């Protein structure tokens, strides 16, 4: 699974978070904007207690509260929410929303995919 992080990257040699998410959705013919801030304007807002697999999680990792990072939920349980993303330090990895680092930077969740049931 290891693909290194590269700001502005969009290839297996290096990719950033928003390009990673854009590519995952594009493989299913769902086209999202290139930048995480703009991706956060798509889909529907989801409360934290309703987050499920496939939802997008948006974060602010800088001083401002502007969205600059995105990941996609891989699975949940009653204790945590797991998401895949391109980390600046570790490349494409799975992290947990309730880890201190991510929980303090979480801004919102959005649902792009809706089931027909």
Catalytic residues: 17, 69, 85
Instruction: Give the integer Cα–Cα distance in Å for 110 and 53.
Output: 11
Task: Give the E-state strand segments of the chain in sequence order.
Answer: 10-11, 14-15, 44-46, 56-59, 69-76, 81-87, 91-96, 106-111
Give the burial class of 24: count Cβ atoms within 10 A of its Cβ; 0-12 exposed, 13-18 middle, 19 or more buried. Answer: middle
Instruction: Give the integer Cα–Cα distance in Å for 66 and 83.
Output: 20
């Amino acid at each position: 699974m290891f693909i290194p992080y590269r700001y502005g990257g969009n290839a297996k040699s290096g990719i950033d978070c928003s390009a990673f998410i854009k590519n995952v959705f594009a493989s299913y013919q769902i086209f999202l904007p290139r930048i995480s801030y703009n991706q956060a304007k798509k889909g529907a807002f989801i409360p934290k207690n309703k987050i499920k697999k496939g939802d997008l999680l948006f974060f602010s990792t800088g001083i401002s509260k502007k969205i600059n990072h995105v990941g996609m939920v891989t699975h949940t349980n009653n204790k945590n929410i797991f998401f895949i993303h391109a980390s600046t330090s570790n490349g494409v990895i799975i992290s947990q929303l309730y880890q201190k680092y991510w929980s303090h930077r979480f801004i919102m969740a959005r649902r792009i995919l809706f089931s027909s049931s």
